[in-house]
Amino acid sequence: EILLTQSPGSLSLSPGERAILSCRASQTISDTYLAWYQQIPGQAPRLLIFGTSNRATGIPDRFSGSGSGTDFTLTISRLEPEDFAVYYCHHYGSSPITFGQGTRLEI
């Protein structure tokens, strides 16, 4: 089983600042199978990034993903008020499918 460890657990920033969220896998994974989701409280998750660096349909270009091997990053270049939420990384390249524990992005 691939364990995903996200850091930091929470991050306090202001609108306009840049956010950098980390996801570390317990073993090397293919960058084809790493995704990021945003979850606003009370809502279902929303796909942001798949295949490490590909933005999903309708996702603004201030969201970007990078990484390889065991270390992956989600960067939000200029925070907007609606970006304050919980973010999860997700490995879907093997069973069981796993998620990180989340990073809470707070104003």
Kindly state whether residue 87 participates in binding another protein, applying the rule CB under 8 A: no
Question: Does 57 engage in binding with another protein (CB under 8 A)?
Answer: yes
Q: Segment near another protein (CB under 8 A), from 15-23, 62-70, 74-82, 86-94?
A: 86-94
11 lies in the binding site for another protein (CB under 8 A): no
Nearer to another protein, 13 or 99 (CB): 99
Cα four-point dihedral sign 25, 72, 30, 51: positive
Token pair, residue 96, equals 């069981």
On the 0-12 / 13-18 / 19+ scale of CB atoms within 10 A, 28 is: exposed
Q: Select the residue interacting with another protein from 24, 46, 55, 62 (CB under 8 A).
A: 46
Give the type of residue at 11.
L
